[in-house]
């Protein structure tokens, strides 16, 4: 059944819905633009009311800095006043403070006194590449040097040809942290590699993105019935018993990542000339599994994690799987039009609108209980614009590449 069957015109094509998405994107920009700016460098994480967390000595994680650069590069491309200042502020902090000027690479976190966590992680380097690539498309003068620098680091230290993916983590002196390979860092690097390809035109980046997707989705996820494994040993053998950092490496499986991969695989399919027939088939399978196993059919929302028997383990509902569900459904509606995908696009937005939008104070609630009431066991406030902003903007542009490139091609700059 087509996407314009009994459901009528797709929401993404309706003027009212598009205006609603613009309004919600602007609410996010308004919430973060001035509140998150830290005059001492980098950006504040925010509490529920939009005030800086630990204002006296805030922690600045590399992914938070890089995501703000990426999001306000989008703001710059859209023509939002003040965005270029934020991009420049974040790029300067990445280059001068996160970057290891002696040994190369980028440290994980710091506070006003200096380094807190000097490790060099694939997850963080992926976001540096994303930030620099988006900044380049927004015209930042120092973007090229950062793209070149982080690309060299990724190639020299992280990339493993024998697997076609990256290693996870190193000490500050580049001593390997042994025993672990993770899909999450590689997933975000796939996003960043596609952005770098669009920013530079260098096919090298797209080839590596395809290599990672082939390993993690075509081979490993397919072996597990398109439930994406999170944790692996150094030979990329799935470790179902892994117990690690429950913030960045939760045990079990994470349906939100299946949704994220749905969009990324279809984006990669489009950028690569639609030559890999396995990609749309895999994207559909990933989405089908996420809603069949991860969606709470009684209360709504995606469970945070499942165990390997497909039983909800962490039953709280987070904002980012909902945001990624929007992006996944939007891309599916474009590439594999079906009323099922349109229905889920609407259903996810209905749940976000009812439960996740904080219409009183701004931003989104980042964590809800199983019963969909705000809670703060994993996240103290509202620290992230990245997932929610992309959910609002991705449906407004063609599903043929990254959001930044789509804005440029649509003539919004």
Task: Convert the pLDDT of each residue in 256-315 to its tens digit.
Answer: 999 999 999 999 999 999 999 999 999 999 999 999 999 999 999 999 999 999 999 999
Cross-strand pairs, 382: 46
Which pLDDT value is given to residue 6? 79
Q: Work out the angle between the directed axes of helices 122-137 and 62-78 (0-180°, nearest 10).
A: 20
Which pLDDT value is given to residue 248? 74
**Average pLDDT score, the chain:** 96
**Full domain range(s) for residue 78:** 11-409
Cross-strand pairs, 317: 303, 368
* pLDDT (average), residues 172-198: 97
- Among candidate residues 257, 335, 341, 365, the one labeled active-site is 257
Which pLDDT value is given to residue 413? 38
CATH number at residue 219: 1.50.10.10
Q: Mind giving me the DSSP string for 199-233?
A: HH--HHHHHHHHHHHIIIIIIIIHHTTSPPP-EE-
Residue 5 lies in a domain: no
pTM for the predicted model, two decimal places: 0.97
Asked whether the predicted pLDDT for residue 1 surpasses 70, the reply is: no
Asked whether the predicted pLDDT for residue 240 surpasses 70, the reply is: yes
* pLDDT (average), residues 228-245: 94
Per-residue model confidence as pLDDT tens digits over 353-383 = 999 999 999 999 999 999 999 999 988 899 9
- The answer to whether the CB of 320 falls within 8 A of the CB of 379 is no
How many independent structural domains does the chain possess?
A: 1
CA dist., res. 258 & res. 297, Å (int): 18
Of 17, 99, 108, nearest to 346 by C-alpha is 17
Per-residue model confidence as pLDDT tens digits over 125-148 = 999 999 999 999 999 999 999 999
Banded pLDDT at 5 (limits 50, 70, 90) = low
Residue 353 lies in a domain: yes
Retrieve residue 37's tokens: 């700016």
Strands 181-182 and 231-232, how do they pair? antiparallel
Active site residue 89: no
- The answer to whether the CB of 143 falls within 8 A of the CB of 91 is yes
Asked whether the predicted pLDDT for residue 329 surpasses 70, the reply is: yes
- The answer to whether the CB of 21 falls within 8 A of the CB of 395 is yes
Longest CA–CA span in the chain (Å) reads 62
Q: Provide CB contacts within 8 A for 116, sequence distance 6+.
A: 59, 108, 109, 110
Residue 296 lies in a domain: yes
Measured in degrees and rounded to the nearest 5, phi and psi for residue 369 equal -70, 175
CA dist., res. 337 & res. 341, Å (int): 7
Percentage of the chain beyond pLDDT 90 is: 94
Residue 2 lies in a domain: no
* pLDDT (average), residues 221-229: 98
181-190, 246-255, 368-377: the lowest-pLDDT one: 246-255
Residue 370 lies in a domain: yes
Residue 1 lies in a domain: no
Radius of gyration over every alpha carbon of the chain, rounded to an integer in angstroms: 20
CB contact burial 43-75 (16+ within 10 A = b; e otherwise): bbbbbbebebeeeeebbbbbbbbbbbbbbbbbb
- Among candidate residues 125, 335, 365, 387, the one labeled active-site is 387
Residue 126 lies in a domain: yes
Active site residue 387: yes
Banded pLDDT at 2 (limits 50, 70, 90) = very low
Which pLDDT value is given to residue 3? 43
- The answer to whether the CB of 5 falls within 8 A of the CB of 339 is yes
Cross-strand pairs, 166: 159
Q: How many CB atoms lie within 10 A of CB 11?
A: 21
Which pLDDT value is given to residue 404? 96
Straight-line distance from the first to the last Cα atom of the chain, in angstroms, rounded to the nearest whole number: 37
Residue 4 lies in a domain: no
Q: How far is CA 297 from CA 303, 321, 370, 412, in A?
A: 10, 15, 12, 39
- The answer to whether the CB of 2 falls within 8 A of the CB of 336 is no
Q: Mind giving me the DSSP string for 8-26?
A: -S-GGG-HHHHHHHHHHHH
Retrieve residue 386's tokens: 């990245």
């Amino acid at each position: 059944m087509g996407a314009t069957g009994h459901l009528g015109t797709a929401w993404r094509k309706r003027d009212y819905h598009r205006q609603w998405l613009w309004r919600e994107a602007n609410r996010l920009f308004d919430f973060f633009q001035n509140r998150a700016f830290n005059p001492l460098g980098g950006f504040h994480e925010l509490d529920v009311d939009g005030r800086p967390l630990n204002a006296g000595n805030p922690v600045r994680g590399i992914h938070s800095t890089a995501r703000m650069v990426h999001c306000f590069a989008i703001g710059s491309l859209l023509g939002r006043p003040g965005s270029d200042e934020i991009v420049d502020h974040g790029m300067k902090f990445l280059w001068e403070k996160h970057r290891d000027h002696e040994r190369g690479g980028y440290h994980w976190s710091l506070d006003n006194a200096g380094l807190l966590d000097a490790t060099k992680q694939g997850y963080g380097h992926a976001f540096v590449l994303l930030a620099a690539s988006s900044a380049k498309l927004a015209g930042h003068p120092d973007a090229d040097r950062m793209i070149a620098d982080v690309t060299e680091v990724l190639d020299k230290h992280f990339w493993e040809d024998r697997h076609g993916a990256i290693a996870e983590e190193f000490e500050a002196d580049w001593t390997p942290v042994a025993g672990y390979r993770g899909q999450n860092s590689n997933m975000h690097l796939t996003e960043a590699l596609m952005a770098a390809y669009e920013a530079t035109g260098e096919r090298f980046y797209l080839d590596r993105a395809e290599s990672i997707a082939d390993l993690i989705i075509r081979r490993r996820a397919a072996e597990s019935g398109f439930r994406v494994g999170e944790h692996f040993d150094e030979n990329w053998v799935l470790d179902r018993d892994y117990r690690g950092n429950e913030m960045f490496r939760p045990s079990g499986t994470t349906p939100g990542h299946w949704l994220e991969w749905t969009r990324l695989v279809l984006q990669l399919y489009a950028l690569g000339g639609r030559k890999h027939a396995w990609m749309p088939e895999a994207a559909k399978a990933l989405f089908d599994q996420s809603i069949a196993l991860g969606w709470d059919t009684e209360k709504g929302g995606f469970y945070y994690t499942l165990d390997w028997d497909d039983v909800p383990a962490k039953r709280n509902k987070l904002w980012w799987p909902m945001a990624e569900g929007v992006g996944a459904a939007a891309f599916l509606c474009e590439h594999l039009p079906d009323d099922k995908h349109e229905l889920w696009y609407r259903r996810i937005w209905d749940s976000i609108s009812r439960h996740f939008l904080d219409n009183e104070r701004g931003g989104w609630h980042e964590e809800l209980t199983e019963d969909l009431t705000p809670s703060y066991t994993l996240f103290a406030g509202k620290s992230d614009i990245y997932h929610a902003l992309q959910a609002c903007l991705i449906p407004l542009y063609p599903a043929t590449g990254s959001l930044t490139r789509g804005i440029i091609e649509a003539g919004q700059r």
